[in-house]
């Protein structure tokens, strides 16, 4: 069963579909999708639970989240195995990155639940004391992608419920397993029924109904920019709050004083993480011309050493992509770039032999593509890195900003002034210096431009999931306040008689 509503599993009432194992190409399971009625039931459950959960004290919500962190910790090995089985990603990534990072996120929000911020109460205007209330919004409708199913479930659920909201989450219909475990573990940890609900269905049915639902106060979405724009349009009919984490095309800028070996290793790790199916993955390497040949040669050498194989084997560096259709989409980008005159310096093909049946693709380095070409401008979402030279610092930063996206970026230099300039002028929600990819629960994740708005992780995300209310208590006991003279003068009028 692939729906978790009001604290229990149930079958969906929509269509049936077969999920394919991306590693073998064989059928994996049959999923019964959620219909609109299932979404209605989930929203109703979340609405009922909101009355209780929103009135819990911050300490009570914090304790519940700490219990959830412990429950997920006990099931960490199981969660990693399910995550690998449904995505094809290497077990090392699931075990060492996805699962522990998400559990750390739970622990962080257990603390953040008790730290809602606002201005100190005080007399900001004459005669009155003002204070700030941070209040939960209501039922949150969230839609998460397939690339990091467990991590994205955490990013959507945790700030919402820490702030006192309840949630209906629609995971990707091809990777619902660990989102369901997340909700099941929350129930086992004592989080009330209906606070977290999971509906597994298609975007066209379950997703659109969730966005349009009059009982949903806010929509949170992670996915492509094209779908994000559609969700904004759907939500605008009810003037609904929207939180969007969309696509990326991260630049990787290597200045001529950079540590070449560090930059090359960073480029490979940053471009192939999760098969390149990561919105923050390094996709566009800009290298100052004196280092260009040495950098591309070293990156190509390192890419050729990457071990593809059985994702459950700890020796595997890179598992399969999410599906055969997606592998073919990635290959299409590379093939078209090659046909347009670009040079493939590493990879550029699916492996043969015992991996031929799976959705595998070799780590790929492409040089010689034009800045305005498809492979440089559009999100490939695969283990593909393009390399382009630059001459001046001004040119590097102009090229780095020359896409519609602005989610993440990195700059590689040992010059303090260069690093400060890059971090200030690159238009992205995150800029790493001499590294690419690491994230921490305390720091926000979110983009500029077509990469969306709103923050995941960190205390900043709580701002997106709360209403900010100004409360002012008048301390002036007189019946007619001085400021009212601006509107009408009544100081000479006799007082009304009882």
Spatial distance between the Cα atoms of 261 and 267, rounded to a whole number of angstroms: 10
Is 279 a known active-site residue? yes
- Residues 171, 144 contacting (CB under 8 angstroms): yes
> Are 196 and 183 in contact, with CB atoms under 8 Å apart?
yes
Within its chain, how far is the Cα of 186 from the centroid? Answer: 21
Helix pair 149-162, 76-87: axis angle to 10 deg: 130
DSSP letter for each residue of 16-52: EEEEEPTTT-SEEEEEE---HHHHHHHHHHHHHHHHH
- The sign of the dihedral angle between the CA atoms of 412, 415, 421, 423 is positive
Q: Which residues pair with 228 in a beta bridge?
A: none
From 71, 83, 173, 279, active-site residue: 279
Sign of CA dihedral 303, 305, 306, 309: positive
Which has the closest alpha carbon to 142: 239, 219, 213? 219
**Do β-strands 8-10 and 3-5 pair in parallel, antiparallel, or remain unpaired?**
antiparallel
Question: CA–CA separation, 130 vs 110, rounded Å?
Answer: 28
Q: Looking at the chain, how many residues does it have?
A: 498
Alpha carbon distance 163, 135 (integer Å)? 7
Query: And the tokens for 12?
Result: 């969906």
Tell me the CA distances in angstroms from 93 to 87, 151, 304, 444, one per residue in order: 11, 12, 19, 21
Please pick, among 83, 173, 245, 379, the residue that the annotation labels catalytic.
245
Q: Which two tokens stand for residue 63?
A: 């304790």
Contact assessment for residue 76 and residue 309, using Cβ atoms and an 8 Å cutoff: no
As to burial, measured by CB atoms within 10 angstroms (0-12 exposed, 13-18 middle, 19+ buried), residue 319 is: buried
Tokens of 478: 């007189």
Place of tokens 């995505």: 87
Cα distances from 221 to residues 100, 144, 228, 445, 458, in angstroms, run 23, 6, 7, 13, 17
For residue 165, what are the contacts with CB-CB under 8 A and spacing of at least 6? Answer: 50, 53, 54, 136, 137, 138, 139, 140, 217, 218, 465
The Cα 428–Cα 250 span in angstroms is 8
Q: Which of these, 455, 420, 446, 454, lies nearest to 434 by C-alpha position?
A: 420
Cβ proximity of 22 and 37 under 8 Å: no
C-beta of residue 188 within 8 angstroms of C-beta of residue 161: no
How far out from the chain centre does Cα 430 lie?
13
Report the catalytic residues.
245, 279
């Amino acid at each position: 069963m692939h729906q978790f509503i009001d604290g229990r599993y149930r079958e969906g009432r929509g269509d049936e579909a077969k999920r394919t194992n991306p590693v073998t190409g064989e059928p994996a399971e049959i999923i019964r999708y959620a219909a609109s009625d299932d979404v209605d039931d989930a929203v109703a459950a979340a609405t009922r639970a909101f009355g209780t959960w929103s009135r819990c004290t911050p300490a009570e919500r914090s304790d519940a989240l700490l219990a959830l962190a412990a429950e997920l910790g006990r099931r960490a090995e199981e969660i990693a195995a399910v995550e690998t089985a449904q995505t094809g990603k290497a077990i090392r990534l699931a075990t060492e990155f996805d699962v522990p990072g998400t559990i750390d996120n739970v622990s962080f929000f257990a603390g953040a639940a008790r730290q809602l911020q606002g201005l100190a109460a005080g007399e900001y205007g004459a005669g009155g004391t003002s204070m700030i209330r941070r209040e939960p919004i209501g039922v949150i409708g969230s839609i998460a992608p397939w690339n990091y199913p467990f991590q994205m479930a955490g990013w959507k659920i945790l700030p919402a419920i820490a702030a006192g909201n309840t949630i209906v989450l629609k995971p990707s219909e091809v990777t619902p397993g660990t989102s369901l475990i997340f909700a099941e573990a929350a129930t086992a940890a004592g989080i009330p029924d209906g606070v977290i609900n999971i509906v597994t269905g298609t975007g066209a049915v379950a997703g659109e109904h969730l966005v349009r639902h009059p009982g949903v106060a806010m929509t949170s979405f992670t996915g492509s920019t094209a779908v994000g724009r559609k969700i904004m349009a759907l939500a605008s009919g009810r003037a609904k709050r929207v939180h969007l984490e969309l696509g990326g095309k991260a630049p990787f800028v290597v200045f001529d004083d950079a540590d070449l070996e560090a930059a090359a290793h960073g480029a490979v790790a940053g471009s192939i993480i999760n098969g390149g199916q990561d919105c923050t993955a390094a996709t566009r390497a800009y290298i100052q011309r004196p280092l260009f040949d040495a950098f591309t040669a070293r990156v190509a050498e390192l890419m050729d050493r990457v071990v593809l194989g059985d994702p459950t084997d700890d020796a595997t560096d890179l598992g399969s992509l999410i599906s055969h259709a997606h592998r073919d989409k990635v290959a299409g980008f590379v093939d078209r770039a090659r046909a347009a005159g670009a040079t493939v310096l590493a990879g550029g093909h699916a492996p043969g032999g015992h991996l031929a049946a799976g959705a595998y693709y070799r780590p790929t380095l492409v040089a010689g593509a034009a800045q305005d070409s498809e492979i440089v401008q559009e999100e490939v979402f695969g283990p593909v890195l393009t390399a382009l030279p630059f001459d001046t610092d001004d040119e590097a930063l102009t090229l780095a900003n020359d896409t519609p996206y602005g989610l993440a970026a990195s700059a590689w230099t040992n010059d303090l002034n260069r690093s400060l300039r890059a971090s200030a002028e690159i238009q992205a929600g995150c800029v790493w210096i001499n590294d690419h990819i690491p994230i921490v629960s305390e720091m926000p994740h979110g983009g500029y431009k077509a990469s969306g708005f709103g923050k995941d992780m960190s205390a900043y995300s709580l701002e997106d999931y709360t209403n900010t209310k100004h409360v002012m208590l008048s301390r002036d006991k007189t019946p007619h306040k001085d400021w009212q003279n601006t509107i009408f003068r009544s100081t000479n009028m006799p007082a009304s008689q009882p």
